[in-house]
Amino acid sequence: MERFNWECKSSPLPLRAQVWIVGNRLELFMSQIIEPRVLKGFRDILPDQQHERQRVVRILEGTVESYGFVSIDTPILEYADVLLGKGGGETDKQVYRFADQGGRDVAMRFDLTVPFARFMAAHRHEIALPFRRYHVGKAFRGENPQRGRYREFMQCDFDIVGTDAVAADLEIVLLINSVFEAMGVGKVTIHVSHRGLFNALLSMLSVEDRIVDVLRTVDKLRKIGKEKVRSILTDLIGTEATDAVVRFITSTGDNATILSSLRSLVPAGTEHVDRLQRILEIAEAVDASERIRIDPAITRGLDYYTGIVFETFLDDLPEIGSVCSGGRYDNLASLYSKERMPGVGASVGMDRLMAALEELGVAGDHGSGADTLIVCLDEELAGTYQRIAKELRACGLRTEVYPEARKLAQQFAFAERRGIPTAVICGADEASAGKVNVREIATRESRDGLTVSESARVISELGGNGSA
């Protein structure tokens, strides 16, 4: 049986025809070509972009691991009631939820926090506390895609659970600082506040029953400005309470000044102000206190946080928004367990981070191209080319072998397009002399008559893209 594809390139219809020779019959199959489209809000990651993503993930992993964090993984698909709780709130409409083949009500994870809570409840007795975990993975939300926002997105979360200690709060803040230092994005400022303090303020003003709406409004301060926030708050909680809230969230000055204003604005919140102060003191010991800014306007929308909350801004690109946010919660796994599980954690949105690196010009220098290309002059020499490749790879050089004897100009053009800086050239004469020539693609200059190990040195000097 043989099969022939009939490629009618001028056909106005997206049709594919195949002629099969089946025994002594000819069979003609016509089928419609399917447009290779992807869903709105989803996307392919091409090699150079994926190379950069892997570079960034490796830096992230290396940094969080240096703090003793360990990685876990959880399923992308879970029981819907486990992810959403018995009821399920506003998020629901965005969740990819369906009945599977067995009729189970299932959903794709929409963040890494809920699966982590479920994980901790399930594996509590296999895990020593305090537990530092990180998780790099995809999550899915069917929200309307915007610039830089996708329905399939990648996150990196890290948390310390099983401790109420202030040292854990501080450590998450230090780790965030270390992560962005390792990325080479310049300085960051981590804006820190305390949700307990905010709650105490609302309690003092007797408006704690409007907390959800007030939080949601204050969270928009950066976006809509002080006056807009004041006007919405006034409708919600009246002029007097609004004045106090606005005074609270717009406290200015250095950290010490803000802390002392907060002390006087919310006398019932002393312990929370003390905690913020202690975080600054410990940070001072590792010269990191300048990276922390007490900012009472930070509340994080979620009702979930109970202790410190924070957002991270790049000093050189603050307008991109927070690149890493989180806070302390009193009880991670309350949905699944009667056991209390306090913790503190943060989340990095990979897409925004990658966009920031790009915009700051600190994305990786190199594309995904190999360090060198062994061109093919003669297919009979395939064994020689593989032998050279083996030797270069042993020197740590990523080595691609061109598989067929095309015109040299075509093979050099291929190297150029792939961003491969050098080519190794070996014809029958060189092969019998045990020598090769190395050509720099950009300059077209050539170093001839080298041994393979000499060529490895030249390839490295001419800017290999760096070993894998």
Q: Using CB under 8 A, which residues numbered 265 to 294 contact a second copy?
A: 281-282, 284-286
- Smallest distance, a second copy to C-beta of residue 235, A: 20
Give Cα separations from 132 to 53, 65, 461 (angstroms).
Answer: 23, 9, 41
379 vs 448 by CB, closer to a second copy: 379
Element (DSSP H or E) covering residue 199: helix 195-204
Contact 269, 200 (CB under 8 A): yes
- According to the binding rule CB under 8 A, does residue 226 interact with a second copy? no
Encoded amino acid at 346, one letter:
A
CA-closest candidate to residue 422, choices 388, 389, 463: 463
- According to the binding rule CB under 8 A, does residue 216 interact with a second copy? no
- According to the binding rule CB under 8 A, does residue 91 interact with a second copy? no
Measured distance CA(468)–CA(5) in Å, rounded: 39
How many residues touch a second copy (CB under 8 A)? Answer: 141
Applying CB under 8 A, among 19, 26, 30, 73 the residue interacting with a second copy is 73
CA 180 to chain centroid: 12
Applying CB under 8 A, among 56, 112, 113, 119 the residue interacting with a second copy is 119
Applying CB under 8 A, among 19, 26, 65, 446 the residue interacting with a second copy is 65
Site for a second copy in 145-184 (CB under 8 A): 152, 160, 163-168, 170-171, 174, 178
- According to the binding rule CB under 8 A, does residue 368 interact with a second copy? yes
Q: Terminus-to-terminus CA distance in the chain, angstroms? A: 43
- According to the binding rule CB under 8 A, does residue 105 interact with a second copy? no
Applying CB under 8 A, among 19, 26, 30, 39 the residue interacting with a second copy is 39
- Smallest distance, a second copy to C-beta of residue 229, A: 21
Range 281-290 contact pairs with CB under 8 angstroms and sequence separation of 24 or more: 282/166, 282/167, 282/170, 283/170, 283/173, 283/174, 286/174, 288/173, 288/174, 288/177, 289/255
- Select from 253-261, 319-327, 396-404, 441-449 the region that touches a second copy (CB under 8 A): 396-404
Token pair belonging to 377: 């002059």
- Select from 26-34, 223-231, 310-318, 452-460 the region that touches a second copy (CB under 8 A): 26-34
Applying CB under 8 A, among 7, 90, 254, 365 the residue interacting with a second copy is 7
3 φ, ψ to 5°? -135, 135
Site for a second copy in 308-367 (CB under 8 A): 330-331, 333-340
Give Cα separations from 230 to 94, 152, 224, 226, 240 (angstroms).
Answer: 30, 36, 10, 6, 11
331 vs 347 by CB, closer to a second copy: 331
CB burial of residue 2 (10 Å; 0-12, 13-18, 19+):
exposed
- Smallest distance, a second copy to C-beta of residue 227, A: 27
Measured distance CA(140)–CA(83) in Å, rounded: 12
Applying CB under 8 A, among 222, 393, 435, 447 the residue interacting with a second copy is 393
Applying CB under 8 A, among 9, 125, 147, 223 the residue interacting with a second copy is 9
Pairing of strands 25-32, 70-71: unpaired
Site for a second copy in 123-152 (CB under 8 A): 123, 126-130, 132-133, 138, 140, 142, 152
- Smallest distance, a second copy to C-beta of residue 203, A: 6
Applying CB under 8 A, among 46, 89, 407, 432 the residue interacting with a second copy is 46
Contacts (Cβ under 8 Å, ≥6 apart) of 448 = 435, 437
- According to the binding rule CB under 8 A, does residue 60 interact with a second copy? no
- Smallest distance, a second copy to C-beta of residue 27, A: 10
